[in-house]
Structure 1
Amino acid sequence: MGRFLIVDGSSMLVTSYYGLLPKQILFAKTEEEKEAYYDKIMQYKGQYTNAMYTMTKTLRKLEKEQQITHMVICFDTTRDTFRREEYPLYKANRGSTPLPLKQQFINMENMLREIGYAVETSDSYEADDLAGSAAFMYESRMPTYIITKDHDYLQLISENTFLWLIQTKQEAADDITKRYASVFCDQTKFNLPDKAALITPEICRAEYGVDPSMIPDLKGIVGDSSDNIPGVKGVSSAAAPLLKEYGSIDGVYEAIDSCKNDKEIKALSSFWKEALGIKRTPVNALIRDRDMAFLSRRLATIKRDVPLSHSFEQMSLDRLSEGKRVEQYKKYGFKTI
């Protein structure tokens, strides 16, 4: 049996871009300084290619070493999706995309399509919504793997869908694969992609304190600074124990709403402290930011019902054109590939 691979294309291309940048740009302090060294970025016939080249090599290696038979590659096209319509500050902390990378997003998508890969994009949804929908629709067909560095995808893990989480340098230094060896088993037994940790439902529970399905609830309380999701201010370490006890944000608020007076609120706080180990009661913060908790959960929830433009059969790697592949590699000067 083969494997179905869902690629967070935006994440992979961005990582590829910064992984093969000249040191002058990496260490530059201002945008003006960075732009002064754009001519040192890998390019071919006036087209920037460093991110495309690295991502292409990564995809080829995955195909050859991971028994991939079906693949879909999902890209973001805009930040102005339905989430920003609901919360205008969503991802407002993100800087603008550098010109050399912006150019390569367009060229990479076009190149992949020319070769015959199933590339999914949308002006209304993010790449993770497309990935989530693909996993929901097709995970029953064969073992499904998602490769990304984005922790949002944890919520998509199931008994049939696994996450190849690309680790940052800090995560690699912390080495979660060793910290949870008892539930990971020995990951050296797996032929994992470079810099990836295999995340299963058991590992998610051990590492984050909640089931994969509770990740949106966790972010609803804790928030997510990378996406500018606010969550409930002043509540962080209490989130996982509360969700483990009540199962969801709804359950937490049902427990709070069942209290008829201040005396019962204090009793609930005491229960949280004694039974759940929550030292500083988050009751007042949860009451104050109730609406923000539910909004944050909605923002953090990956859609799984977005219509896709490719069928599962169209995601088969058997449909790729080797002639087109050679043609496209020559077009961008990928001689060593």
Structure 2
Amino acid sequence: MPKLLIIDGSSMLSTSYYGNLPKSILFAKTEEEKEKYYEQILHTSDGKYTNAMFTMLRTLLGIYKKVKPEYVAFVFDKTRDTFRRTELGADFYKANRKETAKPLKEQFIQMEEFLQEIGCAVFMSDDYEADDYAASLVEKFEGPDLQTYVLTKDHDYFQVVSEYTRMWRVVNKDKLEQLKKDYGFFGSDVYESLPANVFEYTPEIVYAEEGVYPQQIPVLLAITGDPGDGIPGCKGVSSAAAPLVDEYKSLDEIYAAIDDCEGVAKKEKELNGFWKEYLGIGRSPLKALKTNREMVYLSEKLATMKRDIEISCGIEDLKLRVDIEKLKEELGRYEMFSLIKEVENL
């Protein structure tokens, strides 16, 4: 069966950047101190930074050798001022993140142009994030005649996992070994066929790890929040979130149960009793959920990937048709001569 591989380019490039930095920068305490050592970052003779690009391209070559997907799409973030800020009014969304370092910012532009130059499909815009494009691509193309995989390290992608779509999550060695131990029923041959440091998530494994199925992940994040993205959620309710979402499936149903109490103390006590006895919730989340209702609903909107971005291309437009000569030319332009040898040996 043909394979569609959707790659979170922003996640991969960022990971590649921080995984291939000089120790002088990694251990520097201030941004000013880090900037003093930028010249130590891998770069071309004319000063173009390449440490993240080199690592990502080497990773991609390894993935190609092992997986050989028929169709490939790259998704990138372009700005933090997407519809989540402009339309939903969530100015705080991702506001906790530091400004992207200059060497990485330049390599985002270089990498996106590099992929387009060699004939790869790249999706990004000012309005949507990489994960929105990934979800919309899944929505359009997944099905029984296509194996769809999404490669990323970000946990919010759990929501796209389905019968036809698997998440290939990049994890560290210890986490990978633990996951293999916990869910080793696939057999070692399956793990050996995956890219390095990647674990394949099915809907059942998402449920085992998160306590809810993929389609309820945005509801879960609406309550737990997501500190990495600055999604507030409902403070003090994180431990009760999974059993609540697993039981009620949606925020509307959770709040319907709360509203049925009509603010009557006796009814609320009965509801708390049900949650404690049947859902195993010790500390009642009732007051927090009532207080933070508006923010919880906004958090759900922030956590939900858009699945309806117009994707004008067809599946054949995602066919992996890399121009090898152009690839070698671009690698030479960035002075990645060792990778040219790898390409010649494919």
Aligned residues of 2:17 and 2:52 also touching (Cα < 8 A): yes
SS at match of 2:235: coil
Q: Which of 200, 203, 208 is the matching residue for 2:202?
A: 200
Residue 42 (str. 1) matches residue 45 (str. 2): no
* AA of the residue aligned to 1:194: A
CA distance in 2, matches of 1:127, 1:8: 7
* AA of the residue aligned to 1:158: S
Task: Give deviations 1:295-328, integer Å, cap 9, x for gaps.
Answer: 00000000011123543211101x3211211111
Q: Specify the alignment match of 2:230 in structure 1.
A: 228
Q: Specify the alignment match of 2:343 in structure 1.
A: none
Aligned residues of 1:164 and 1:198 also touching (Cα < 8 A): yes
CA distance in 2, matches of 1:132, 1:330: 34
Task: Tell me by how many angstroms 1:267 deviates.
Answer: 0.3
> Do the aligned partners of residues 328 and 309 (structure 1) sit closer, same or farther apart at CA in structure 2, a change above 3 Å counting?
farther
CA distance in 1, matches of 2:188, 2:127: 37
* AA of the residue aligned to 1:31: E
CA distance in 1, matches of 2:312, 2:74: 12
> Do the aligned partners of residues 120 and 336 (structure 1) sit closer, same or farther apart at CA in structure 2, a change above 3 Å counting?
same
Aligned residues between the structures: 333
* AA of the residue aligned to 1:130: Y
Task: Give deviations 1:262-281, integer Å, cap 9, x for gaps.
Answer: 11111000010011110111
Aligned residues of 2:173 and 2:197 also touching (Cα < 8 A): no
Q: For residues 96-175 of structure 1, what are the structure 2 equivalents within 5 Å? A: 96-140=99-143, 141-168=145-172, 171-172=175-176, 175=178
Tell me the C-alpha RMSD between the 2 structures: 1.4
Task: Tell me by how many angstroms 1:251 deviates.
Answer: 1.0
CA distance in 1, matches of 2:289, 2:67: 45
Gap runs ≥5 in structure 2: 340-346
CA distance in 2, matches of 1:160, 1:32: 47
CA distance in 1, matches of 2:125, 2:32: 32
SS at match of 1:320: coil
Task: Tell me by how many angstroms 1:189 deviates.
Answer: 3.1
Residue 58 (str. 1) matches residue 62 (str. 2): no
Residue 305 (str. 1) matches residue 305 (str. 2): no
Task: Tell me by how many angstroms 1:176 deviates.
Answer: 2.6
CA distance in 1, matches of 2:50, 2:64: 21
Aligned residues of 1:69 and 1:316 also touching (Cα < 8 A): yes
Aligned residues of 1:220 and 1:297 also touching (Cα < 8 A): yes
Q: Specify the alignment match of 2:284 in structure 1.
A: 281
Q: Specify the alignment match of 1:93 in structure 2.
A: 96
Task: Tell me by how many angstroms 1:179 deviates.
Answer: 2.8
* AA of the residue aligned to 1:253: Y
Task: Give deviations 1:45-77, integer Å, cap 9, x for gaps.
Answer: 210001111111111221221131100000111
TM-score (norm 2): 0.93
TM-score (norm 1): 0.96
CA distance in 1, matches of 2:15, 2:29: 20
